[in-house]
């Protein structure tokens, strides 16, 4: 993954690889962040189950939607990832858990630590 793979618009570098959208702010763009993006791209398919399990453990989501981690994984769809130097935020704008809200969660590392699940509308 190279900086030239991204399009710069409105202060962000944006690109899509294998159905995953990446955004990196102009001030954050670096070889280190590009390496992190590449690692996340490779790891994401194996991390979806852990992401879904983390979402399923959120008390509000668990009580409201009553979905298993498998059901959640099937309903996430295309991720959009905003990267920082050591992690970032994943947004699921096209999720089928709740059609009127965007599902967000923050992470650090190569999706190693997941935290702060939220629904934005």
- Using one digit for the tens of pLDDT, what is the confidence trace for 54-96? 999 999 999 999 999 999 999 999 999 999 988 999 999 999 9
What does pTM read for this prediction?
0.92
Query: What's the alpha-carbon Rg for the chain, to the nearest Å?
Result: 14
99 to each of 76, 77, 82, 92, 105, how far by Cα in Å?
11, 12, 21, 10, 17
**Can you tell me the mean pLDDT for 35-57?**
96
Q: Where are the domains of the chain?
A: 47-84
**Can you tell me the mean pLDDT for 28-53?**
96
pLDDT of residue 99: 83
Average pLDDT, the chain: 95
Q: Which tokens in the block code for residue 109? A: 């590392």
């Amino acid at each position: 993954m190279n900086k030239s793979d991204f399009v710069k618009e409105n202060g962000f570098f944006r690109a899509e690889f294998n159905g995953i959208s990446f955004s990196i702010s102009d001030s954050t763009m670096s070889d280190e962040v590009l390496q992190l993006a590449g690692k996340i791209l490779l790891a994401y398919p194996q991390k979806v189950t852990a992401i879904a399990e983390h979402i399923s453990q959120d008390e509000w989501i668990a009580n409201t939607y009553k979905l298993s981690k498998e059901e959640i994984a099937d309903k996430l769809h295309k991720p959009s990832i905003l990267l920082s130097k050591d992690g970032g935020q994943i947004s699921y704008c096209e999720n089928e858990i709740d059609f009127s809200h965007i599902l967000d969660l923050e992470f650090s590392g190569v999706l190693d630590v997941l935290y702060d699940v939220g629904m934005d509308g």
